[in-house]
Amino acid sequence: MGETKPVENTEKADSKKAAKKEAKKAEKAAKKAEHKAASGQSQSVVADENDVSVGKYGNLPLIRSDSTNTNKDRKFIYVKELNKSLAGNDVWVRARLHTVRARGKQCFIVLRQREFTVQLLLNVSETVSKSMVKFASNITKESIIDVEAKVVQVPTPIAACSQQDVELLASQIWVVSASAPQLPLQIEDASRPEKGDEAEGLNIRVNQDTRLDNRVLDLRTPTNQAIFRLEAGVCRLFREVLTRKGFTEIHTPKIIPAASEGGANVFTVSYFKGSAYLAQSPQLYKQMAIAADFDKVFTIGAVFRAEDSNTHRHLTEFTGLDLEMAFNYHYHEVMLLIGNSFTEIFKGLRDQYQTEIQIIGQQFSVEPFTFLDPPLVLHFDEGRRLLGEAGVEVGPEEDLSTPAEKLLGRLVKAKYDTDFYILDKYPLAVRPFYTMPDPETPRSSNSYDMFMRGEEILSGAQRIHDPQLLTERAKHHGIDLKKIASYIDAFKYGCPPHAGGGIGLERVVMLYLGLDNIRKTCMFPRDPKRITP
Amino acid sequence: MNGPLKMYRTRQVVRHDIAVQLPDCMYKLKNIHAARNGMVEQRTDHVSSAPKKVDICDQVKQFLKNNQNLPEMAALELRQEEILRQLADLKKQMDNIRNNLQISKNAAVTSQIIKPKQGPPPSLPDVIINASPTNPPYSLELVQKLWKNYMFLSVKSYTHSSLSSLTENAQQLTKTLESFKPGNVPKINVKLIWKDVGANPELVVAHSRIFGEVNILRYLARVTSDYLNYETCNNVHEIDALLDVCYNIVKSKTKTERASLLQVLNKSLGKSQWLGDRSQISIADLAAYSAIKQATNPSEVNVNLGKWMQRCVACQ
């Protein structure tokens, strides 16, 4: 300890680091004491005598935004910015310790910042002591560390890191926030490619439930980072595209007085002395906005479905992107606008999110999403004919079953090479009562479904905007008129003809990326069996 | 009762021979059955069949016998003889031609089988064509025009996600094809998908694809009637060879390669209106027009071919 004093004194003289240094010193002493107790006495003595790196490593005190901190102006470089052009410079980097491996007088650390990784090397030298290397090699995985290092170009690319051209030679290393030594899941395991039939190599995977239980760790994998950036992109593009087309964003209540659709699958919440329901669709409010002359509206918000279905594509709470629009004479105006908006969103994703798609593709090998511009529109009967050719008969007034939908998706893909298409003119019998019947063929309705990779993502229709016809249709469906009185009343004072539809954000992202489970695209999924975390 | 069969005698159920009291509250009409060539018996109470069977043949014979000496008849007879003679002549000529070309009778029979059905176009399923915007299938433009009075190619174009934008030529072609005004003829839907498929457009049929523009043209020619069909022509092989030349023009990489292929086309055109020394436009012209438009610079095309290109554009 005697040797460290003079160094500290000189530093004290030229800067105001005193307080911090004192703290560090104390910490270091504590650490060393601990260290001594743990390891052999003789070794630590040697370390003490030769430690030239004191003040260059250790645990930082808790950062509480104190104004006296001298490192305020320190410039940090992002890991993704590290490249050849910075070679020879000293930089500061704050990142997570991804892996650490000590070998004799050397210590290799991989630093990770989101999906970017870089190799950090500690060599015992005149400025780096053995004990510093030892300290570094004992930092737990996933700890956040500050590193000062020199950027060095490497002769052969480092295959294991994203920054392959350079590595860092550490001169200081400080722990900002340490991780617990035991991790419930390893980030490498969670980000290992799932390519199916790979016999060689490690095949350790992380179970979906383990991932969800430890979502914070799981979300650190490059793939998850990319998935949720892409999801944000879908939301942003949806807003941008529709705003450009003259839509107004509205917010609809999530606590509603009565079930809007059906009624069996709503959550009941206690509401003071009575009870209320959680909205399972913003439909009624969208339509009311149309009746209130907003012309074109969209809304983004949570939607709740109390369906006890444990499938790969159902959640009890998801984000709904809904839109509704008044039209002049034909609901195709709306249908094609929605279709084109999708195409624009897909184009935006294709052009702006290539890196994300590529990263996700490394872990989950999926075919890239294909689409046509303008989107392909098939008549329901045409779809039936395609299915009939493949040996699946669907009646003219029958809905498509899920397997039939998937098969149709594959047939359309084989024929037109598009993963996105619109199926128009569904039979009236399989649509809700507020769907406008087709004036030309009585068994059809003015309704459409949109599909991605053979799974339905949007179901929309021209709604009946005439209270009389609406009452008639409701009676025909055997619906209690008293329950939907407020719905019918909304059209009493004149309402433009309108149509619309809604999509589930998570499902769209899942299908766009070709993932197999909707829980992969929901940050904190809610299903009948999970309400934590 | 007469005849070989013995039957019971029955009482007569309906009697015809009693006099019917005709009502007098109506106008009297002349009996229309009474005055027919004297064939019908002069009985007024009811209609009965003629006593002997009158054959229409007999009537004609009778008529002819009566009119044998009319001059019109003689002229008619003469004309018939004349036509029969001409037909015989024609047959002889055909036989000569066949001998000259040394085509056996059997070959003639097979070509008869290939001969497509005349008449209304078959109801085709939707046609899906994938094409690269770098190699637009210009021949569709001409097909559309040529079929104006036969079938309407209703083209709808799409852009596949593998492309971020269309070339100007592709946009131009899309516009021309989509804005075509049909006559009152059957419609066939064509979905033209712009997609990165290289130099060879694809036609999607049932479960497989047909590659190459010339092959698409061959397909269209074969499934429809003889508007474009060339398989019954004398110079089938020549047209086929020309189609292959067109295929190679699109595939060609260097200017010299193209120059020699264009020379082949030019030679085939010669001084005639259309390729293959024909007086009518054929499938070869369509393919060549498209290939030249896709692959060559205007400077590579000589005057003769240039004029022929003009004719292609102007064809109806």
Is the distance from CB of A146 to CB of A93 less than 8 angstroms? yes
Residues of B with Cβ-Cβ distance to A417 under 8 angstroms: 130, 160, 193, 195
The pLDDT of residue A12 is: 45
Out of A112, A211, A313, A431, the active site residue is: A313
Please tell me the distance in Å from B160's CA to the nearest CA on chain A.
4
> Where do the domains of chain A lie, and which CATH numbers do they carry?
4-55 (no CATH), 71-177 (2.40.50.140), 187-218 (no CATH), 222-521 (3.30.930.10)
**Torsion sign over Cα A480, A481, A485, A491:** positive
The pLDDT of residue B54 is: 60
CB pairs under 8 A between A and B: 40
Interchain pair B160, A370: CB under 8 A: yes
Mean pLDDT across A192-203: 66
Cα separation, B192 vs B128, in Å, equals: 6
Annotation marks residue A261 as catalytic: no
Cα separation, A397 vs A384, in Å, equals: 11
Kindly state the tokens that stand for B2: 């007469």
End-to-end CA distance of chain B: 77
Residue of B nearest to A374 (CA): B158
Instruction: Residue window 188-227, chain B: list those with CB within 8 Å of chain A.
Output: 191, 193, 195, 204, 207
ipTM, 2 dp: 0.73
The pLDDT of residue A308 is: 87
Sequence-separated (6 or more) residues with CB below 8 Å from residue A533: A212, A213, A215, A216, A524
| 3-state SS assignment for residue B40 | coil
Interchain pair B158, A376: CB under 8 A: yes
Annotation marks residue A3 as catalytic: no
Question: How far from the centroid of its chain's Cα atoms is residue A510's Cα?
Answer: 10
Side-chain-side CA neighbours of A52 within 13 Å: the count stands at: 8
Is the distance from CB of A356 to CB of A226 less than 8 angstroms? yes
Annotation marks residue A305 as catalytic: yes
Tens of pLDDT, residues A300-341:
999 999 888 888 888 999 999 999 999 999 999 999 999 999
Cα separation, B89 vs A189, in Å, equals: 91
Tens of pLDDT, residues A226-274:
999 999 999 999 999 999 999 999 999 999 887 655 556 888 899 999 8
3-state helix, strand and coil shares in percent for chain A, rounded to the nearest 5: 35, 25, 40
Is the distance from CB of A432 to CB of A287 less than 8 angstroms? no
Kindly state the tokens that stand for A285: 């409010």
Cα separation, A171 vs A120, in Å, equals: 10
Which value, to the nearest 10 degrees, does the dihedral of the CA atoms of residues A523, A515, A411, B162 take? 90
Residues of A with Cβ-Cβ distance to B130 under 8 angstroms: 417
The pLDDT of residue A44 is: 41
Is the distance from CB of A59 to CB of A31 less than 8 angstroms? yes
Kindly state the tokens that stand for B69: 């000496």
Element (H, E) at A209: helix A208-213
B130 in contact with chain A, both atoms CB, cutoff 8 A:
yes
A372 in contact with chain B, both atoms CB, cutoff 8 A:
yes
State yes or no: pLDDT of A10 exceeds 60. Answer: no
DSSP A125-163: SSSS-HHHHHHHHTSPTT-EEEEEEEEEE-SS--TTSS-
- Asked if the domains B121-229 and B231-316 are classified in one and the same CATH topology, the answer is yes
Please state whether beta strands B152-160 and A372-373 pair in parallel, antiparallel, or not at all (unpaired): antiparallel
Sequence-separated (6 or more) residues with CB below 8 Å from residue B278: B235, B272
DSSP A300-368: EEEEE------STT--SEEEEEEEEEE-SS-THHHHHHHHHHHHHHHHHHHHH-HHHHHHHHHHB--PP
Interchain pair B161, A373: CB under 8 A: yes
Please tell me the distance in Å from B161's CA to the nearest CA on chain A.
5
State yes or no: pLDDT of A377 exceeds 90. Answer: yes
| 3-state SS assignment for residue A28 | helix
Where exactly are the structural domains of chain B?
A: 121-229, 231-316
CATH of range B231-316; options 3.30.160.270, 1.25.40.80, 3.30.565.10, 1.20.1050.10: 1.20.1050.10
Digit-by-digit pLDDT tens for chain B (316 residues) are: 455 667 788 888 887 777 878 777 878 777 777 655 555 444 445 544 455 556 777 787 777 777 767 778 888 889 999 999 999 999 999 888 888 776 555 444 444 444 444 455 566 677 888 999 888 888 888 888 888 777 788 888 898 988 888 888 888 888 888 888 777 777 888 889 998 888 888 888 777 788 888 888 888 888 776 667 777 777 788 888 888 888 888 888 888 888 888 888 888 888 888 887 777 788 888 888 888 888 877 788 888 888 888 888 887 6
Kindly report the three-state secondary structure assignment for every residue of A379-421: EHHHHHHHHHHCCCCCCCCCCCCHHHHHHHHHHHHHHHCCCEE
φ, ψ at A93 (rounded to 5°): -135, 135
E strand segments, A124-259: 144-153, 166-177, 248-249, 255-256
The pLDDT of residue A532 is: 82
Out of A179, A188, A459, A530, the active site residue is: A459
C-alpha separations of A140 from A50, A76, A122, A181, B200 in Å = 25, 22, 16, 5, 58
Out of A305, A453, A465, A519, the active site residue is: A305
The pLDDT of residue A1 is: 44
Residues of B with Cβ-Cβ distance to A373 under 8 angstroms: 158-161
Please state whether beta strands A90-103 and A106-113 pair in parallel, antiparallel, or not at all (unpaired): antiparallel
CATH architecture of B121-229: Up-down Bundle (1.20)
Residue A200 banded pLDDT, cuts 50, 70, 90: low
Q: Which of A63, A90, A65 shows the shortest CA–CA distance to A75?
A: A90
Annotation marks residue A220 as catalytic: no
Sequence-separated (6 or more) residues with CB below 8 Å from residue A477: A432, A433
Instruction: Residue window 350-369, chain A: list those with CB within 8 Å of chain B.
Output: 350-351, 368-369
The pLDDT of residue B111 is: 40
